């Protein structure tokens, strides 16, 4: 397949591009600035600029673009940037696909497992309503921005990504260095559910969804586990203790509104992904932790 990817330099995108190319796909990436060669397509989502002809020969578009909400304090201005970065890219791609008519018929659109808000021990599949937190509201608008493409008959999948276990970024970007030093421990009570998936299985699931007959929200997770269990397994795989807990109040002070993503409990399950026939390589938390440790 010829696949166009937005957000190719992020934590997931930088793993997805080589994975798809190794699998025989023709991958082109959207870049801000002049394109360098045929594998790049220039665009400016903030200005609403994208040449429709550049997408005409593609089979699918994968949009992973958006400001990382955990990289800086979530001030009012930063919250606007988090939302606008998602709406500008998603809206432009969706409108462009709708106008093409005979262009790409698949849009895999990034989303987040924070869609549900913190729900304690409730088991959450894709039929659950969207919550009321800041991040749930971001997801509500983010997914709605794909409406033009959906209305035009494009198969749109919303990738509600969970806690991605991998090195070099993602949700573990700040936690793994502490675990390596033997300074890791549960976050807050440690009883909150984290719906996890390894980076490898995330890119495999994304490739799978390029052709699987699925549309709408998909929980891109393998299984939920309590935060204390995730941290303990990672520490065990790295032969380190995990006995230094981080109090909830300290996380709220340090992370502000983003602390809800760390302390909130989302017991999401991959109902749609499982039903589509996808099988993870790392199906258990110990296997996932060993994979992360081997790559560290």
* CATH classification at residue 141: 3.40.50.720
Q: CA torsion, points 127, 133, 138, 142, in degrees to nearest 10? A: 10
User: CA nearest 292: which of 164, 162, 166?
Assistant: 166
**pLDDT value of position 82:** 93
The count of structural domains within the chain is: 1
The Cα–Cα gap between 188 and 177 comes to: 18
Domain that holds residue 280: 2-295
Residue 254 banded pLDDT, cuts 50, 70, 90: low
Decide: residue 152, CB within 10 A, 0-12 exposed, 13-18 middle, 19+ buried: middle
Strands 163-165 and 40-44: unpaired
pLDDT digit string, tens, across residues 62-121: 999 999 887 777 888 999 999 999 999 999 999 999 999 788 999 999 999 999 999 999
Q: Do residues 216 and 157 make contact, with C-beta atoms less than 8 angstroms apart?
A: yes
Residue 261 burial (CB < 10 Å; 0-12/13-18/19+)?
A: buried
Query: What is the percent of the chain with per-residue pLDDT over 70, rounded to a whole number?
Result: 99
pLDDT digit string (tens) for 117-160? 999 999 999 999 999 999 999 999 999 999 999 999 999 999 99
């Amino acid at each position: 397949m010829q696949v166009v990817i937005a957000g190719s330099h992020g934590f997931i995108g930088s793993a997805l591009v080589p994975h798809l190319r190794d699998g025989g796909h023709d991958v082109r990436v959207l870049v801000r600035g002049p394109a360098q060669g045929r594998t790049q397509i220039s665009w400016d989502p903030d200005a609403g600029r994208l040449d429709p002809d550049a997408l005409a020969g593609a089979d699918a578009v994968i949009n992973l673009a958006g400001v990382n909400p955990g990289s800086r304090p979530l001030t009012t201005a930063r919250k606007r940037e988090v939302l606008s970065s998602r709406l500008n890219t998603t809206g432009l791609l969706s409108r462009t696909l709708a106008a093409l008519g005979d262009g790409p018929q698949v849009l895999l659109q990034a989303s987040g497992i924070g869609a549900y808000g913190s729900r304690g021990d409730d088991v959450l599949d894709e039929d659950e309503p969207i919550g009321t937190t800041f991040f749930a509201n971001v997801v509500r608008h983010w997914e709605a921005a794909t409406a033009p493409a959906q209305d035009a008959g494009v198969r749109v999948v919303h990738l509600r990504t969970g806690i991605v276990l991998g090195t070099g970024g993602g949700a573990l970007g700040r936690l793994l260095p502490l675990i390596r030093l033997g300074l890791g421990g549960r976050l807050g009570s440690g009883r909150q559910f984290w719906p996890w998936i390894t980076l490898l299985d995330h890119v495999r699931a994304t490739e799978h969804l390029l052709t699987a007959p699925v549309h709408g929200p998909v929980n891109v997770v393998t299984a939920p586990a309590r935060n204390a269990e995730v941290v303990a397994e990672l520490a065990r795989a790295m032969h380190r203790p995990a006995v230094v807990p981080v109090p909830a109040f300290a996380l709220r002070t340090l992370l502000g509104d983003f602390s809800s993503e760390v302390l909130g409990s989302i017991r999401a399950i991959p109902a749609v992904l499982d039903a589509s026939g996808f099988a993870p390589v790392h199906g258990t938390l110990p296997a996932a932790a060993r994979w992360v440790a081997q790559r560290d």
